[in-house]
Amino acid sequence: MNDDSPDIRKVGVVGCGLMGSGIAEVCARSGLHTLVHDVDRAALESGRERIERSLAQALARGRLSAEEAELVTGSLTFTTDLEDFADRDLAIEAVPENQDLKVGVLTTLDRIVRRPDALFASSTSSIPIMKLGAATSRPGQVMGVHFFYPVPVLDLVELVPSLATDDEAWTRMRRFASEVLGRHVIVSQDRAGFVVNSLLVPYLLSAIRMFESGFALAHDIDEGMVRGCGHPMGPLALTDLIGLDTTLAVAESLFAEFREPLYAPPPLLSRMVQNGDTGRKSGQGFYAYPEPASR
């Protein structure tokens, strides 16, 4: 990469859910003009309100000044029209963990975004990047940029280049993540689950199987890991935070790639998702929550 390469100044985030709104907030707080898209106007407004609540909390805790909060708000634009992404330097898809949906978004962005060397990122937590990049005419400029929820709080990001990702695009994205966004970067090969979920998901699934079998109550499983192993949160509470639907999707992707029993989703997990019990965002998972996070 040449030192005079254009900076990434205009970012677009597709998806204004829990992850997308968090990514958009982090980008705006880094001084970037950030365009946020969702197909549903109500979901877009919900995402805007979520960002405003996050900024208010940061303001109340002294982590952000009133002037900084105003600048962040002024850096955000919300739209239901993907055509508005034509001038973006970087487009990040943050739609639900569904391969067909993500492929469709990236294919559309590839057609819309005009800048020849624009970068494309997927926030997928498990889908191989090669499959996503192949949906575009610019696979060399596509890579995984996996943030962790809640995005404004957790500073880790996994960067995942595919075999097709070119060196200049990779260098630009790594500098962007570490120097512009101020994230702590770890690098993974393009394997389903990457580093964190390849280790984390079998642990979560094991806890679900333990609960499903009647071996122990949810509270006791979680207390055992918090008080006995020093974990900040038990595995079932963590699954509720991540989302049971997301956990299921990641497990299915891991199992499809590796065919190892430890990645196989327990029947209870599938049934709970089918029933709409997806955790904190729905108000019900392994525990009940009076105020769903998706509101």
CATH architecture, range 10-187:
3-Layer(aba) Sandwich (3.40)
Which residue has tokens 């993974």?
Answer: 188
Residue 214 CA, distance from chain mean position: 32
Q: Which residues are catalytic?
A: 125, 146, 158, 197
What is d(CA 178, CA 162) in angstroms, rounded to the nearest whole number? 19
- Does residue 143 carry a pLDDT above 70? yes
Average pLDDT over residues 90-113: 96
Instruction: Give tens-digit pLDDT for 261-275.
Output: 999 999 999 999 999
> Does residue 294 have a pLDDT over 90?
no
Name the nearest CA neighbour of 37 among 9, 11, 15.
15
For the chain, percent of residues with pLDDT exceeding 70? 97
Q: So what's the pLDDT on residue 3? A: 47
Mean pLDDT for 108-117 is 97
List every span in the chain annotated with CATH 1.10.1040.10.
196-274
Average pLDDT over residues 232-244: 97
Q: CATH 3.40.50.720 residue ranges in the chain?
A: 10-187
CA distance 46 to 292: 12
Q: Is the pLDDT of residue 291 over 60?
A: yes
Quickly list DSSP for 26-39. Answer: HHHHTT-EEEEE-S
Asked if residue 2 has pLDDT above 80, the reply is no
Q: At the topology level of CATH, where does 196-274 sit?
A: N-(1-d-carboxylethyl)-l-norvaline Dehydrogenase; domain 2 (1.10.1040)
How confident is residue 94, by pLDDT bands cut at 50, 70 and 90? very high
- Buried b or exposed e, range 67-97, using 16+ CB within 10 angstroms: eebeebeebbebeeebeebeebbbbbbbbeb
Query: CB burial class (10 A; 0-12, 13-18, 19+) of residue 271?
Result: exposed
Asked if omega into 150 is within 30° of 0 (cis), the reply is: yes
